[in-house]
Structure 1
Amino acid sequence: MSDLEIRPSATHGRGVYATRSFAPGEVVECCPVLVVPAGQRVLLDQTLLYEYYFYWQGGAAAFALGYGSLYNHSHEPLARYRKDFDAGTIHIVAVRAVLPGVEITVDYTNGGTNPLWFAPAT
């Protein structure tokens, strides 16, 4: 993950930053996921971890490893996430040019089609 680093973020405490440029369409990170079965997900909803998982097949929860669960939300993101259920991964893909030193954000509402499950800082 030398192309990325975690640093303090004005958006939400800490964020994922590029250490090199990424072109639109380029995979920023391929994150394996740790899947928590649907029956156990309700327990997560009562903890801080609620804000860090992705909804997965069958009502399960998936934690994106690497930096995957740490990208901050923005309605004007530099990247998007793409779930691959068969491979058990989430890809973070640049949607605009990303320059070194810039925080990489994603839109967790998927263009407004999904509600946010957390309160964004800004």
Structure 2
Amino acid sequence: MLYISHSHGKGRGVYTDSRIERETIIERTPILEIPQEEVEMLQLTILNNYYFAWGFDQQQAALALGLGSIYNHSYTPNAVYIPREAEQLIEFVAIRKILANEEITINYNGSPNDQTPLWGSDEIPWLK
């Protein structure tokens, strides 16, 4: 049902080959949890662009396996991600109907309605 394809201006993205109804779980991805003391080192690698803030105080990091770290950002997303810390996974859920061959996007800020600029700007730094 899910596949990776080119996303204009964003590199790779996650797409669906089938219609997905609202509130459908798209994917449940296991994570690799990175302790707080290793996050600074992670920020010096290519993985800096692919991890999620993690933990009660958001000071840890999580690298989503499966397709989890490939979903692109949108301020008008069609999905949301839900950290499931006790289960050591991230759940991606449709927040509206997603059509076949449509890219699945999430708001990196967490809330689908959060319009806060990413990383202190309105652009993703590696796309400048």
TM-score (norm 1): 0.90
Contact preservation (8 Å) 2:32, 2:63: yes
- Residue in 1 aligned with 2:98? 98
Alignment partner for residue 9 of structure 1, among 4, 7, 13?
Answer: 7
Alignment partner for residue 118 of structure 2, among 110, 116, 119?
Answer: 116
Give the distance between the partners of 2:11 and 2:92, measured in 1 at CA.
20
Q: Provide closer, same or farther for how the CA distance between residues 113 and 39 of structure 1 changes in structure 2, counting only shifts above 3 A.
A: farther
Give the distance between the partners of 2:84 and 2:23, measured in 1 at CA.
16
Name the SS of the counterpart of 2:103 in structure 1.
coil
Give the distance between the partners of 2:104 and 2:78, measured in 1 at CA.
6
CA deviations 1:66-113 (Å, max 9, x no partner) are 000100000010100000110011001000101110100001122327
Contact preservation (8 Å) 2:77, 2:106: yes
1:64 aligns with 2:72: no
Contact preservation (8 Å) 1:23, 1:94: yes
Give the distance between the partners of 1:77 and 1:69, measured in 2 at CA.
15
Aligned length: 120
Give the distance between the partners of 2:30 and 2:116, measured in 1 at CA.
22
1:51 aligns with 2:65: no
Q: Provide closer, same or farther for how the CA distance between residues 78 and 11 of structure 1 changes in structure 2, counting only shifts above 3 A.
A: farther
Name the SS of the counterpart of 1:99 in structure 2.
coil
CA RMSD of aligned residues (A): 1.9
1:22 aligns with 2:20: yes
Q: What amino acid maps onto 1:67 in structure 2?
A: L
Q: What amino acid maps onto 2:16 in structure 1?
A: A
- Residue in 2 aligned with 1:81? 81
Structure 2 residues not aligned, in runs of 5+ = none
Structure 1 residues not aligned, in runs of 5+ = none
Q: Provide closer, same or farther for how the CA distance between residues 45 and 112 of structure 1 changes in structure 2, counting only shifts above 3 A.
A: same
